[in-house]
Amino acid sequence: MGLLGKKTGIIFTFAGEIGIIMKESGVLNMNEFRTIELKKGIYERNNVIAQETREDLTKKNTSLLNLMSSPGAGKTTFIVETIKALRDEMSIAVMEADVDSDVDAATIAQTGTKVIQLHTGGMCHLDAEMTRQGLESLDAQNVDMIVLENIGNLLCTAGYDTGAHINVMILSVPEGDDKPLKYPPMFRAADVLIISKVDALTIFDFNMDACISRAKSLNPNIEIFPVSAKTGEGMNLWLTWLRRNVGHK
Ligand SMILES: Nc1nc2c(ncn2[C@@H]2O[C@H](COP(=O)(O)OP(=O)(O)OP(=O)(O)O)[C@@H](O)[C@H]2O)c(=O)[nH]1
Ligand SMILES: [Mg+2]
């Protein structure tokens, strides 16, 4: 059956892919659609800004770390524990991004760290332009590392280069070991996979070996650190890696 009415379209993005599903009156049937790849223009612009940001920060000897995960995987807790462990040896600032609320910035501020809260007004990720605006507002001078806590989302955040030198993702044990199979773009985009909440391994049927091998098959170079921010287990290996890579990526 043909469609009546005007031309209608749905633009969609999918972690590195963007397209438009369009139905036209009298041309396509209900179960038909055209998909047009628009990836180039939008992502090229984002990548130019991201590259400029990276170069600007590199000149200032500041590393930007983009931390991504699904909601509640433990990003803020992990940042707090990382700050506590490193604050005597490097200067750190934080940008907290959320759709709304200031709770994460308030948590970070309790550590005495310079922090700003960014509100995305409903957007499910930060792009390079939003990150640049955040960095301008943060105005952190002479810091070794800026941590960006991205929006809690395991899909959208992976599609945008923010200008970060280091991309870290957290997968928590309660989310399950099958997530590399279900959300491959995030595992491909990350330099580091933190498998968090390992203190809960006895409660959940999380297969660590399967998870690691699934992540490695998507991204053979990914560094993987199973940790518990609550008990401190595994944090030292992560901190050693971070010390080596801040300022060198
Ligand atoms: N058992 C356990 N719980 C943890 C660990 N890390 C974080 N949590 C808990 O997990 C919950 C979510 O932690 P957050 O650090 O707020 O997670 P988040 O990813 O920042 O959450 P959003 O910013 O809302 O996406 C809190 O109740 C934390 O106390 C951990 O290593 N082990
Ligand atoms: Mg948080």
Q: Cα(112)–Cα(6) distance, rounded to whole angstroms?
A: 56
* pLDDT of amino acid 39: 57
Nearest to 172 by CA among 70, 57, 95, 56: 70
- Considering every ligand atom, which ligand is closest to the CA of 77? 1
Provide, rounded to the nearest whole percent, the portion of the chain with pLDDT above 90. Answer: 77
pLDDT tens figures, 101-150: 899 999 999 999 999 999 988 889 999 999 999 999 999 999 999 999 99
The residue contributing the CA closest to ligand 1 atom 13 is: 74
- Considering every ligand atom, which ligand is closest to the CA of 194? 1
Mutation probe of ligand 1 site: the residue of 68, 77, 79, 186 with most atoms within 8 A of C-beta: 77
* pLDDT of amino acid 121: 85
The residue contributing the CA closest to ligand 1 atom 10 is: 74
Q: Which domains does the chain have, with CATH numbers?
A: 8-37 (no CATH), 52-245 (3.40.50.300)
For residue 221, the CA-to-ligand 2 centroid distance in Å is 27
Distances from the Cα of 137 to the Cα of 94, 118, 150, 210, angstroms: 12, 9, 16, 42
For residue 110, the CA-to-ligand 2 centroid distance in Å is 14
| pLDDT classification of 20: cutoffs 50, 70, 90 | very low
Mutation probe of ligand 1 site: the residue of 69, 70, 76, 101 with most atoms within 8 A of C-beta: 76
| pLDDT classification of 28: cutoffs 50, 70, 90 | low
Q: Which residues line ligand 1 (CB under 6 A)?
A: 69, 71-77, 104, 152, 196-197, 199-200, 228-230
Query: What are 229's two structure tokens?
Result: 């921010």
* pLDDT of amino acid 29: 63
* pLDDT of amino acid 40: 62
- Considering every ligand atom, which ligand is closest to the CA of 203? 1
| Strand 34-37 to 92-98 pairing | unpaired
Question: Count of CB atoms within 10 A of residue 136's CB?
Answer: 8
Query: What are 4's two structure tokens?
Result: 């009546």
pLDDT tens figures, 194-238: 999 999 999 999 999 999 999 999 999 999 999 999 999 999 999
**Residue whose structure tokens are 């990526």:** 249
- Considering every ligand atom, which ligand is closest to the CA of 153? 1
The residue contributing the CA closest to ligand 1 atom 7 is: 74
Contact indicator for 11, 153 with CB cutoff of 8 Å: no
Helix and strand element counts for the chain (H, E): 8, 10
For residue 156, the CA-to-ligand 1 centroid distance in Å is 20
Of these ranges, 36-45, 59-68, 93-102, the one predicted with the greatest mean pLDDT is: 59-68
For residue 69, the CA-to-ligand 2 centroid distance in Å is 9
**Residue whose structure tokens are 């462990």:** 85
The residue contributing the CA closest to ligand 1 atom 14 is: 74
* Contacting residues for 171 by C-beta, under 8 A, at least 6 apart: 69, 70, 73, 179, 193, 194, 195, 196, 211
The residue contributing the CA closest to ligand 1 atom 30 is: 197
| Strand 17-23 to 8-14 pairing | antiparallel
How many CA atoms lie less than 13 Å away from 28 in the CB half-sphere?
Answer: 14
Distances from the Cα of 127 to the Cα of 17, 55, 123, angstroms: 14, 16, 10
What is the DSSP track for 71-119? TTSSHHHHHHHHHHHHTTTS-EEEEEEESS-SHHHHHHHTTT-EEEEEE
pTM: 0.86
Q: Cα(189)–Cα(160) distance, rounded to whole angstroms?
A: 9
